């Protein structure tokens, strides 16, 4: 497969395409990002790295981090984890309080905010220093010890986290949050503030394409059975209330973040990431969605 040629075609097509998306503004620090940033990186199991543009520039991964926190939690717990968070698509905005009220404080899935907050609560209970453990885990699967948070994004989110605090309080009232609300919220904000590049994210996501193993040193991070489940949740729930659209257009498991990043995988083939900050009305990178749709169209392969 001529991946570099395909990526070059995607780049050329994308640069002449009109983009109507807007950079996330509810986190003030994210609103400062240059909307013209655009990078893409594909890491193939059999033939290595391909990419273009701002592929090596780090950005705030935001909700993509929810895949890492879920993975870490699943290395510590078995299926009892899913007694506290479901695995169904939400069909509602990622920070909805209404759905949570109707369903007695059990979030629909681990990738909406409420679900990720429950995962954070589980990590606070299970790990002595969960922030450091999660950062170390991310560094391990990326093979890069320099990965860290963006302190400005962290501080900005801390000042504008009222709705997530509301989600926590509501779930606490139903008994689904066990720890101090501020402690859980702090871990959640911390993980969303992690910065990575497209290349680094593609390397980290290789474990989801490679049956739970890192590619560079063949370390098994998590079992293939659990990777299958994580990939299934990414397929059905990875794009908030646009998961069906992403499946229809792209046909790969993946996860988006309001920092403009999307990470996706083709099991047994590759991990691919794209970064373009302007978001569509559903909170997903507009150009990123297009680029990944073109990837599976030009290669002729998706998981379907």
Average pLDDT in the 282-287 region?
93
pLDDT band at 145 (very low <50, low <70, confident <90, very high): very high
Average pLDDT in the 74-99 region?
86
- The tally of CA atoms less than 13 A away on the side-chain side of residue 48 is 1
pLDDT band at 93 (very low <50, low <70, confident <90, very high): low
Do residues 283 and 258 touch, judged by C-beta distance below 8 A?
A: yes
pLDDT band at 96 (very low <50, low <70, confident <90, very high): confident
Q: What percent of the chain has pLDDT over 70?
A: 98
> Lowest mean pLDDT: which of 17-26, 156-165, 255-264, 279-288?
17-26
Which of 287, 273, 94 has the alpha carbon at shortest distance from 188? Answer: 94
Determine the pLDDT at residue 287: 96
Statement: residue 94 has pLDDT above 70: no
CA distance 172 to 205: 32
Question: Could you give the domains of the chain?
Answer: 3-299 (3.40.710.10)
CA distance 114 to 217: 35
Which of 117, 132, 201 has the alpha carbon at shortest distance from 167? Answer: 117
Determine the pLDDT at residue 154: 95
Determine the pLDDT at residue 97: 83
Average pLDDT in the 129-144 region?
97
Radius of gyration of the chain (CA): 18
Do residues 3 and 202 touch, judged by C-beta distance below 8 A?
A: no
Statement: residue 260 has pLDDT above 70: yes
Statement: residue 87 has pLDDT above 90: yes
Question: What are the tens digits of pLDDT across the range 181-225?
Answer: 999 999 999 999 999 999 999 999 999 999 999 998 889 999 999
Phi, psi of 127 (to 5 degrees): -125, 140
Average pLDDT in the 176-184 region?
97
CA 166, distance to chain mean position in Å, is: 22
Question: What are the tens digits of pLDDT across the range 216-243?
Answer: 888 999 999 999 999 999 999 999 889 9
């Amino acid at each position: 497969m001529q991946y570099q040629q395909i990526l070059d075609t995607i780049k050329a097509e994308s640069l002449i395409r009109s983009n109507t998306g807007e950079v996330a503004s509810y986190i003030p620090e994210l609103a400062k990002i240059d909307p013209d940033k655009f990078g893409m990186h594909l890491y193939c199991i059999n033939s290595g790295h391909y990419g273009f543009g701002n592929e090596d520039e780090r950005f705030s991964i935001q909700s993509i981090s929810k895949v890492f926190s879920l993975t870490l939690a699943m290395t510590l717990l078995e299926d009892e984890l899913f007694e506290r968070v479901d695995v169904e698509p939400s069909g509602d905005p990622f920070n909805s309080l209404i759905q949570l009220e109707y369903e007695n404080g059990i979030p629909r899935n681990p990738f909406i905010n409420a679900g990720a907050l429950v995962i954070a609560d589980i990590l606070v209970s299970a790990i002595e220093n969960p922030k450091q453990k999660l950062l170390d885990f991310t560094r391990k699967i990326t093979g890069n010890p320099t990965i860290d948070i963006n302190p400005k994004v962290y501080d900005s989110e801390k000042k504008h986290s009222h709705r997530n605090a509301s989600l926590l309080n509501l779930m606490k009232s139903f008994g689904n949050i066990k720890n101090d609300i501020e402690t859980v919220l702090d871990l959640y904000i911390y993980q969303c503030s992690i910065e990575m590049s497209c290349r680094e994210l593609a390397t980290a996501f290789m474990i989801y394409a490679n049956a739970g193993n890192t590619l560079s040193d063949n370390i098994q991070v998590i079992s293939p059975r659990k990777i299958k489940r994580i990939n299934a949740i990414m397929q059905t729930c990875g794009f908030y209330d646009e998961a069906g659209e992403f499946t229809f257009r792209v046909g790969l498991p993946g996860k988006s973040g309001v920092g403009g990043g999307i990470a996706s995988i083709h099991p047994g083939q590759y991990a691919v990431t794209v970064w373009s900050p302007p978001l569509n009305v559903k909170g997903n990178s507009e150009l990123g969605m297009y680029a990944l749709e073109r990837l599976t169209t030009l290669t002729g392969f998706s998981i379907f």
